[in-house]
Homo-oligomer: A and B are copies of this chain.
Amino acid sequence: MPYLKREAPNPEPIDCRILTAALDLFVNSGYHNVSVHEIQKQADVSIGSIYKHFGGKDGIAKALYKHILNEMDELVDDVMNEHKSPKKQCEEIIRLLCGYTETHYDIMAFIFHAKHTEFVPDEPLICNTLPFIKIREIVKSGMECGEFREINSWVAASTIFGGVIRMIQLRLDNMIEEPLPTYFETLIDASLNGVLTSDTTKTDNKISAVL
C-alpha cells in the first residue's frame, strides 16, 4: 500500500498488494494500457480476489484515487496545524511536495501526472478534492491577513503553486536531473515574490532565502 507518512505493513494484506501493484502499473504504463491480469500477476493474487475486494478495474482505480487523496489531505492538515502564517504554510507545502517527488515517485506521479477524468469519471476533479480546496483557502486567508497582495485568488494560487507543479511534472518526466529539494529556496523565492504585498520588504525575502 502506498503511504506518504506511515510505513507499509509487512506482510501486506491482499488488498494492499493489489493497490501497490496497480499504482505502479498505472503510473508507469497508464490506466488503459494495464490489464487486470497484469495487476493480478504483479500482485501475486488471483483474478477472483481482485473482483472480491474491488469489484473490478475501475474499483481499484477509485480506491486508489480516494486513498491517495486522503494521504495528501492529511499532509495538508499537518502543515496547517504546525504553521499559522499562510505564507509559511505555502512554503511548507511546496517543500513537502518537492521532497515527496523524490521519495514517493508513484504517488506524486499519480496525483500530478495522470488524467483522472479518463478513468475515474465519477470522482471529483483533483482540483476539487479536499487537499486542493484547502490549499486555495490558505491562499485566500493569506490575502485577507495581508501577507499576499489582494489579487484574484485563482491567479494567486496558480502563481504560487504553478511553478512547483510544473517543476514536479518536469522532474517526473526526467527532464530535470537534480532532486527537486535542490531548487527549493530559489523556487520559493521566485514563486512568492510575485504575490507578496509590498510591505513585506523584498530584501527580507532574499535574505531569508540565503540563510
Contact = CB atoms under 8 A, between A and B. Distances in A.
Contact of A186 (B33, B155, B162, B183): B155
Interface in A173-211: 173, 175-176, 183, 186-187, 189-195, 198, 202
A6 interface: no
For chain A, which range describes its interface: under 10, 10 to 19, 20 to 34, or 35 or more residues? 35 or more
Interface stretch (A43-51, A65-73, A100-108, A110-118): A110-118
Interface in A144-175: 149, 151-152, 154-159, 161-167, 170, 173, 175
A30 interface: yes
A84 interface: no
The 7 A-B residue pairs with the shortest CB-CB distance in the complex, in nearest-first order: A162-B162, A32-B32, A30-B118, A194-B194, A162-B166, A158-B166, A162-B163
Interface of A: 29-33, 113-115, 117-119, 125, 127-128, 149, 151-152, 154-159, 161-167, 170, 173, 175-176, 183, 186-187, 189-195, 198, 202
Given A32-B32, A128-B175, A155-B183, 15 more contacts: A32-B33, A113-B115, A125-B175, A127-B175, A155-B163, A158-B166, A162-B165, A162-B166, A162-B191, A165-B166, A166-B166, A189-B194, A191-B194, A192-B194, A194-B195
